[in-house]
Amino acid sequence: MMEIRPIRSESDYRSALGEIDQLMTAAADTPEGERLDVLVTLVEAYEAKHFPLDLPDPIEAIKFRMEQLDLTPKDLTPMIGRQNRVYEVLSRKRPLTLKMIWRLHDQLGIPAECLIRPTGTPQTA
């Protein structure tokens, strides 16, 4: 049943996406769930090669995730520290520390590769 082929064309890619869509509710420890995992891996590899994306600025990524999850700066205090520190980080006045990066990655699912990138320079008035 597994017979999965590499994704070599736009047609293969679209076909894999369609199959992934059908398998999205498959349980992990089933043949369908395993097929889903393999197809997702193949699609990710194809997309990385054909649609490379630059990682966003770390602060923009944090703000985007906050918007997605309807979070306020106060919600970031467990990951960044006191509220004034959260505002300093969000305004680019304080850099992210490794501890902050790992907490943001772990608790908000922001890719660590994105968070370790240098941030843009602070905006001056």
Q: How long a stretch of residues is the chain?
A: 125
Q: Which amino acid appears at position 78 of this protein?
A: P
In a domain, 68, yes or no: yes
Domain of 95 in residue numbering reads as: 58-115
CB 74 within 8 Å of CB 83: yes
Q: In this structure, are 63 and 103 located in the same domain?
A: yes
- The pLDDT tens digits for 3-30 are 788 999 999 999 999 999 999 898 989 9
- pLDDT per residue as tens digits for the range 54-105: 778 999 999 999 999 999 999 999 999 999 999 999 999 999 999 999 999 9
Q: Is the pLDDT of residue 124 over 80?
A: no
Is there a domain that residue 3 lies in? no
**DSSP at 70:** T
CA distance 114 to 96: 12
Based on the structure, what is the number of domains in the chain? 2
CA dist 82 and 47 (Å) reads: 39
Residues 69, 41 within the same domain: no
pTM beyond cutoff 0.95: no
Looking at the fold, whether 108 and 82 belong to one and the same domain comes out as yes
3-class SS of residue 28: coil
Do both 62 and 107 map to the same domain? yes
